[in-house]
Amino acid sequence: MTAIGEKGVQDPSVQIHAAEETPRGYGSMKRKEDARFVRGRGQYVDDVVLPGMLHGAVLRSPLAHARITSIDTSAAEAHPKVHAVITGATLEGLGLAWMPTLSQDTQAVLATDKVRFQGQEVAFVVADDRYAARDALALIDVEYEPLEPVIDAKRALEAGTPVIRTDKEGKTDNHIFDWESGDRSATDAVFAEAEAAEDQLVVVQDMIYPRVHPAPLETCGAIADMDPVTGKLTLWTTTQAPHAHRTLYALVAGLPEHKIRIISPDIGGGFGNKVGIYPGYVCAVVASIVTGVPVKWMEDRSENLMSTSFARDYHMRGEVAVTRDGRIRGVRVHVLADHGAFNATAQPTAFPAGFFGVFTGSYDLEAAHCAVTGVYTNKASGGVAYACSFRITEAVYLIERMVDVVAHDLGMDPAELRMRNLLRPEQFPYQSKTGWEYDSGDYPHTLQVALDKAGYQELRAEQADRRRRFADAQRSGAGPAGTAGEPVKLMGIGLSFFTEAVGAGPRRSMDILGLGMADGAELRVHPTGKAVLRVSCQSQGQGHETTFAQIVAQELGLSPDDIDVVHGDTDQTPFGLGTYGSRSTPVSGAATAMVARKVRERAKIVAAAMMEVSADDLEWDDGRWQVAGDPDASRSMADIAMAAHSNLELPEGVEGHLDATCVYNPPNLTYPCGAYICVVDVDPGTGAVDVRRFVAVDDCGMRINPMIVEGQVHGGLADGVGMALMQCIAFDLDGNCLGGSMMDYLLPTSLECPSWELGETVTPSPHHPIGAKGVGESATVGSPPAVVNAVIDALAPYDVRHADMPLTPAAVWCAAQGHPLRPDLGIT
């Protein structure tokens, strides 16, 4: 489709953004990758078709907990289009029936002894096409002996409860781990004082952050191609962490690592759903080895929702010690963490509850302590997914909900209470009571910007007026619907102030299965001044091909259009742990800046040789190396690149060409923050919630491409509205998943989202090379409590103190009636 017009060659891959819109470094520019996405030219795993490829399908358990007494595959094997049927017994022979999880547990690839959740993988059929593969699933005869399922996490540890993990020798209960953070005795002392003192009180609230699912629009899948001649496995797969996957396949399957190539092409959303290794991937690999040809497996929507990595499922009790004039002294938390049938959460090794330790939030406390207990239940495994920043989502929800409960009990304005307790700018770098070093921020300023943007005082005045009218309507006996026909809606205003901790992480303290969380970058400038950057992280829609090109452009004085970013192929890119936990810009972005600076230093030597001056006399000025004080004597990066590849004589010990590599080991996490204000209208007659406004002021330090940042925030806010108002994976007591389709698991649409009102403050990270902080998950982390706080605020006339997400119309109405719903179990 390349056309030659008046302006020369018009390449359809670049014409989507006019050249004059492209900044030389930072600034808003349209995303380079969107040229292919908006034309339907993206290449996703399911778009890959290999010669002779077969198709796999997974047979799943209809029961949540049952013993397998027999599996008869003979009818399926007799199907004319079926090439192989793989069961747990097949895999046992290969030593692959069980695989290690990212949390030092084991997970069944295909069930051998028991099934442990509805939707668990039982058998894998390989056939000519995906239709035949599905047809053959119905021909497999599995006999189950049903066992009592463990569904209610609160009862998982009770005596007499069935033991789920009977595969683990000596296991007599459903306990996984106990983990704590903070100073227990100092915290208990603060609480004892608060309980005894007249002028203080202790506020307690139980809350559930229910199980949700990231639900990326592209489901998970893989194509395994084991070349029987070279012995090399090429695996096209939906992964956010291709290099980590390669190492894990090497360790699990015993394949030599240099004989494994992981290709993660365009990924249609990940949100943490595509961090782990799923049984289907392993089955595809085994199937390719067994059949000698490539095998594709793509799960369907229900399989994705029912069997892959969920998120949250934290049953929390928050306690706050506070003075009656609103000074928060201490926070104490107990968590029961439902991890499902296998402990397969993805987080750094030393953090079984992820970064939940950041539950102290944005406040200056005297003491804090949390204790987390993980339990097995008969549900799908996972737990760290859906843009949660390793459980900071749960932590922020807890503290921000607790602050509003405190404001409720004290009769204080929640904005004033927050302002009184926020960390002050002079306290940074701040050592939190649970051991985290917050790098930078000006929290009162950020909150004030949000309050001003929202018109907070005017909103409160409108709310007071609305409440008067509501009370009048109630008194007149007309009920909430009013006589005029239209109900008086209740208005609610909700705040949240979040601190995130993203960019894992320092190698000394953070690893996943022993792999330190550092990331590499390689940069090569071609002779004509065009460049290629290779990074270890893997975009799932974040815009890395644009943002990282802009970082290089800023450092080298090039146009982002002249820089190609290569990612998602382990044969083409340096090692690193991938993209999740908002870590790409904090880690790979830093690696990119550092590698570009290495190249710039090399270019300086070349430029000095070109101009026959000492390198010490050169200064970097507006994208060129220039002789200090002589603007006429300078060389651009393109000039230098050609010279570096030419026969120019370079100083002793300086090699030619213009390239560099780098590994970035972050000295600390980055700590973005934000102040969010949500305004809702609640129909008291139906419980329906309408999000009227949402103001989001984010501080993510330096913004490389503000438009991309805003897009990330928009997406996260929509996620937050979804979690707060409609998304939930509940289970009935038989263990049936009640969120197994898009009809039952509701994603928000534009009709549920207001026009987002964004703002920003900028406090650069002092330790990041370009002052940037991660932002991908900020809005997902920060927005749910703002929405929930707004709904609870609206229900003040009913004196509601708390109600659990999702605040569906039924949940809101039931809370107002004084009998709130429990979201994790089926409604009866």
Partner 1 sequence: MQVPAQFEYHKATSVDDAIALLTRHGPESFVVAGGHSLLPMMKLRLAEPETLIDINGLDELATVTVESDHVRIGAMVRHSALLSSPVIAEHFPIFTDAERLIADPIVRNRGTIGGSLCQADPSEDLSAAFSAMRATAVIRGADGEREVPVREFHRGPYETAVAHEELLVAVRVPIRPASGSAYAKLERRAGDWAVASAGAMLRVDAGTVAEVGIGLSAVGAAHFVAPEAEEYLRGGPASDEAFVEAGRISAAHCSPSADQRGPVDYKRHLAGELTTRVLRRAARRSRGEEA
> Interface with partner 1 by CB under 8 A: which residues?
46, 130-131, 134-135, 138, 298, 300-302, 479, 481, 483, 485, 685-688, 725-726, 728, 730, 738, 741, 743-744, 746, 748-749, 751-752, 808-810, 813-814, 821, 826-828
CB-nearer residue toward partner 1: 417 or 816: 816
CB-nearer residue toward partner 1: 125 or 328: 125
CB-nearer residue toward partner 1: 461 or 742: 742
Work out how close the CB of 557 gets to partner 1 at its nearest, in angstroms, rounded to a whole number: 47
Residue (of 434, 409, 406, 436) closest to 421 by Cα position? 406
From CA 491, how far away is CA 815, in angstroms rounded?
A: 16
CB-nearer residue toward partner 1: 576 or 739: 739
From CA 99, how far away is CA 110, in angstroms rounded?
A: 10
From CA 185, how far away is CA 449, in angstroms rounded?
A: 38
Phi then psi for residue 313, to 5 deg, are 65, 50
Work out how close the CB of 786 gets to partner 1 at its nearest, in angstroms, rounded to a whole number: 19
Report whether 263 contacts 242 (CB < 8 A).
yes
CB-nearer residue toward partner 1: 218 or 555: 218
CB-nearer residue toward partner 1: 318 or 687: 687
Work out how close the CB of 421 gets to partner 1 at its nearest, in angstroms, rounded to a whole number: 35
Q: Mind giving me the DSSP string for 68-130?
A: EEEEE-HHHHHSTTEEEEEEHHHHHHHT-SEEE-TTS-EEESS-SSEE-STT-EEEEEEESSH
Work out how close the CB of 730 gets to partner 1 at its nearest, in angstroms, rounded to a whole number: 6
Q: Burial of 268 by CB count in 10 Å (0-12 exposed, 13-18 middle, 19+ buried)? A: middle
CB-nearer residue toward partner 1: 24 or 130: 130
Tokens 């950020």 locate to 446
Work out how close the CB of 568 gets to partner 1 at its nearest, in angstroms, rounded to a whole number: 22
Work out how close the CB of 56 gets to partner 1 at its nearest, in angstroms, rounded to a whole number: 13
CB-nearer residue toward partner 1: 683 or 698: 683
Write out the H or E segment, with its range, that includes residue 789.
helix 778-794
CB-nearer residue toward partner 1: 14 or 481: 481
Q: Mind giving me the DSSP string for 344-400?
A: ---S-TT-TTTTGGGGGTTB--SEEEEEEEEE--SS--EES-SS-TTTHHHHHHHHH
Q: CB neighbours of 589 closer than 8 A, spacing ≥ 6? A: 547, 548, 551, 704, 768, 770, 772
Work out how close the CB of 765 gets to partner 1 at its nearest, in angstroms, rounded to a whole number: 38
CB-nearer residue toward partner 1: 230 or 750: 750
Does residue 505 have a cis bond before it (omega within 30 degrees)? yes
Work out how close the CB of 819 gets to partner 1 at its nearest, in angstroms, rounded to a whole number: 9
The token pair at 738 is 């009640």
Work out how close the CB of 304 gets to partner 1 at its nearest, in angstroms, rounded to a whole number: 11
The token pair at 338 is 């439902």
CB-nearer residue toward partner 1: 435 or 826: 826
Work out how close the CB of 386 gets to partner 1 at its nearest, in angstroms, rounded to a whole number: 18
642: helix, strand or coil:
helix
Report whether 742 contacts 353 (CB < 8 A).
no
Work out how close the CB of 744 gets to partner 1 at its nearest, in angstroms, rounded to a whole number: 7
User: Looking at residue 55, what DSSP letter applies?
Assistant: E
Work out how close the CB of 43 gets to partner 1 at its nearest, in angstroms, rounded to a whole number: 17
From CA 102, how far away is CA 122, in angstroms rounded?
A: 21
Sheet holding 618-621, edge to edge: 618-621, 624-627, 630-636
CB-nearer residue toward partner 1: 8 or 485: 485
Work out how close the CB of 125 gets to partner 1 at its nearest, in angstroms, rounded to a whole number: 13
From CA 266, how far away is CA 542, in angstroms rounded?
A: 11
User: Which residue type does 296 have?
Assistant: K
CB-nearer residue toward partner 1: 218 or 698: 218
Write out the H or E segment, with its range, that includes residue 531.
strand 531-535
Work out how close the CB of 816 gets to partner 1 at its nearest, in angstroms, rounded to a whole number: 10
Region label for 506, one of left (φ > 0), alpha (ψ between -120 and 50) or beta (otherwise): beta
Sheet holding 295-298, edge to edge: 82-87, 121-127, 54-60, 295-298, 221-226, 233-237, 260-263
Question: Largest Cα–Cα distance in the chain?
Answer: 94
CB-nearer residue toward partner 1: 228 or 479: 479
